[in-house]
Amino acid sequence: MKFTPEQILKDTFGYEHFRGPQSEIIEEVMAGRHCLVLMPTGGGKSLCYQIPSLLRPGVGIVVSPLIALMQDQVDALQQLGVRASFLNSSLTPEAQRAVLRDLREGNLDLLYVAPERLNQEATIELLHSIPIALFAIDEAHCVSQWGHDFRVDYLQLSLLEQHFPEVPRIALTATADANTRAEIAERLGLVDARHFVSGFDRPNIQYRITQKQNPRQQLLRFLRREHENDAGIVYCLSRKKVDDTAAWLEEQGFTAVPYHAGLSPEVRQRNQQRFLREDGVIVVATIAFGMGIDKPDVRFIVHLDLPKSLEAYYQETGRAGRDGEPATAWMVYGLQDVIMLRQMMDGSQGNEKFKRIERAKLDAMLGLCEITTCRRQALLHYFGDSQFGETGPDFCGNCDACLNPVPTWDGTLAARKALSCVYRTGQRFGVNYLIDVLLGADSDKIFQNNHHQISTYGIGKELEGNAWRSVFRQLVARGYLSVDHATYGGLHLSEKSRALLKGEESIALRIDVQEVVVKAEKKSRSSTQIVADADKALWEALRRCRKSLADDNDVPPYVIFHDASLMDMVHYRPLTEQQFLGISGVGQSKLDKYGAAFLDVIREHEA
């Protein structure tokens, strides 16, 4: 009997319908053709290669950059009855031999491998000896030298085109601007392949960005008001800040664990497993954490420091709300973030072209922070998404700029004073010193430099220090001022400042206001809050059942069933196996394994 993709979707994965371009992509791969797929996080990329791997002769080889990602994917597939395994350094030699034996004997449908393993001559030789259904290159943006997750080993994947030109290749990523997409296509031999670019919009994520005032207290207010018992990720720039923030959150009564490259592999693994398997755990991490994490009920992503690019920001915030329920992307940033990142870029070992591209990416990130219009519109415009919004391009209704429009003021005169002060002090001093000059401070350093005699000394007394700090931050963010790392954060004028100084243009600046709480109806809600009071007893009983089964099978609870499946059970109250098969996410394998346990719980509550 010849199965169809639709039958596999229903019988194995438990879903009734394909989403977006999934069906077209699968058809392309089934026909033996290559393709490049850009689909937002949670959009169902993995089905695009998993289903063809089950239907085409041979084994599907999936190139994946992270051990944790492989483990999660394989655990989930094995629960569905799919013959899947992985090859990476976490396996013992004996376990690796067992996987290779299964591969040679045709006992695998899918094999996940790290790029460094695939690049080995012995692996290529082995793959030449077996039938291969397809090659899937996951997280394909790692192949781009200008991308935010560049991996050297991904550059070698051009060997797939050389050694296996007839085997279909499918490259997949959630994050890539036009330049990165072009580089992926070129390096992986997909220039002439069909490209599928889905809409980048994640309407369930609320984007909010505010200035740093007292970051810890701002974070505490955010968590207490909106995400008291939810799972989430807090990103920081340095390892020390990760450790300090995690310890502080624990002191405040939250369950928080650190994650960064400075911890031992055992500690990182243990902390990640707690995040995946326990409820309400917060991971405080550097950008080393999160790629490929499939946890569907992450309710918030926090950035306590500015990301280096919109690609990184989109990738990291996209880890929230994969289940489609409301989630929040919340960030605080300040001028010091900008100065630190620009110093790091200017002092890097990259060539001038690399530095120029990195600066442009940071400028785009700053632009998102400082705009006074819809953040979602700006984010989607950056990725070239022409499918944005039924409400029009100027208003999404679910970002802070739309929910609480930012007040502005005519900052032209203040900006000219600030720029003039930078020029007249020699374009070599930092913000604090420049503010002292503008305010006419009685400072030994100012007198030593004779800056009490320049025309900009004391001309800024109409604004207080924090207001001037805001002016300088916005001038740096908009490219009127540049940071010179050689002078430890000294500011100097850019070419763009000329027109403003000459009076040929004006500038509207944001008024920095104290943080406001967003409208209540847009506030993120956990699944527990979504369930009606009358259904909570059944909901909690189903969750206990899921947790018990997950512990027995040594997998995260969501591998058994997502929250969405449990909510369907609460809503439809299936009492027979046939009715249970109608629940989203229930295929034949999961019915056989878990149907009886969940049906018993439901029948008990219906009695």
Cβ pair 316, 457 in contact under 8 A = no
Q: What mean pLDDT comes out for the span 585-596?
A: 91
- Residue 545 sits in the same domain as residue 472: no
Cβ pair 314, 193 in contact under 8 A = no
**Beta strands at 169-173 and 132-137: parallel, antiparallel or unpaired:** parallel
Q: What mean pLDDT comes out for the span 2-10?
A: 89
Q: Residue 598 is part of which domain span? A: 531-606
With cut-offs at 50, 70 and 90, classify the pLDDT of residue 358. Answer: confident
Q: Is the pLDDT of residue 138 over 70?
A: yes
- Residue 435 sits in the same domain as residue 557: no
The model carries a pTM of 0.72
**How far apart are alpha carbons 309 and 307 in whole angstroms?**
6
- Residue 476 sits in the same domain as residue 555: no
Going by C-alpha positions, the residue among 233, 220, 231, 254 that lies closest to residue 318 is 233
Q: Is the pLDDT of residue 289 over 70?
A: yes
Classify 538 as helix, strand or coil.
helix
pLDDT by residue (tens digit) across 185-213?
998 999 999 999 877 788 899 999 998 98
Q: Is the pLDDT of residue 146 over 60?
A: no
- Residue 427 sits in the same domain as residue 451: yes
- Residue 503 sits in the same domain as residue 550: no
pLDDT score at 365: 87
Higher pLDDT, 327 or 354: 327
513 is a domain residue: no
445 is a domain residue: yes
Q: How far is CA 99 from CA 49, 110, 241, 526, in A?
A: 20, 11, 40, 40
pLDDT score at 106: 92
**How far apart are alpha carbons 317 and 327 in whole angstroms?**
9
**How far apart are alpha carbons 389 and 203 in whole angstroms?**
9
pLDDT score at 1: 47
| 197, 228, 260 - which closes a domain | 197
Going by C-alpha positions, the residue among 88, 80, 502, 137 that lies closest to residue 265 is 88
pLDDT score at 519: 44
pLDDT score at 390: 37
pLDDT by residue (tens digit) across 397-410?
899 989 888 888 99
32 is a domain residue: yes
- Residue 397 sits in the same domain as residue 430: no
Going by C-alpha positions, the residue among 254, 5, 35, 281 that lies closest to residue 136 is 35
| 177, 197, 217 - which closes a domain | 197
521 is a domain residue: no
The single-letter code of the amino acid at 26 is: I
| 446, 473, 507 - which closes a domain | 507
438 is a domain residue: yes
- Residue 453 sits in the same domain as residue 557: no
Per the listing, tokens 């110093």 go with 343
- Residue 224 sits in the same domain as residue 240: yes
HSE-CB at 470 with a 13 A cutoff on CA atoms is: 21
Look at phi and psi of residue 376 and say left if phi exceeds 0, alpha if psi is from -120 to 50, else beta: alpha
- Residue 83 sits in the same domain as residue 168: yes
- Neighbouring CB atoms inside 10 A of 127's CB total 22
**Beta strands at 35-38 and 84-87: parallel, antiparallel or unpaired:** unpaired
Number of alpha helices (DSSP H) and beta strands (DSSP E) in the chain? 28, 17
What would the two tokens of residue 264 be? 């031992």
Helix extents (H) in 478-560 = 497-501, 527-530, 536-553, 557-560
- Which of 93-107, 351-365, 410-424 comes out lowest in average pLDDT? 351-365
Mean pLDDT of the chain: 86
pLDDT by residue (tens digit) across 291-305?
657 788 899 999 999
What is residue 518's DSSP assignment?
A: P
**How far apart are alpha carbons 579 and 606 in whole angstroms?**
15
Cβ pair 509, 408 in contact under 8 A = yes
**How far apart are alpha carbons 588 and 122 in whole angstroms?**
38
520 is a domain residue: no
The total number of structural domains in the chain stands at 4
Q: Is the pLDDT of residue 391 over 70?
A: no
- Residue 224 sits in the same domain as residue 326: yes
pLDDT score at 338: 78
CATH classification at residue 575: 1.10.150.80
313 is a domain residue: yes
514 is a domain residue: no
Element (H, E) at 240: helix 239-251
pLDDT by residue (tens digit) across 161-188?
899 999 999 999 887 777 778 888 998 9
- Residue 298 sits in the same domain as residue 390: yes
pLDDT by residue (tens digit) across 220-279?
999 999 999 899 999 998 899 999 999 999 999 999 999 998 999 889 889 988 998 888
- Residue 188 sits in the same domain as residue 210: no
Cβ pair 567, 525 in contact under 8 A = no
Taking the alpha carbons of 261, 263, 265, 271 in that order, is the dihedral positive or negative?
A: negative
CATH classification at residue 85: 3.40.50.300
Per the listing, tokens 């992450």 go with 298
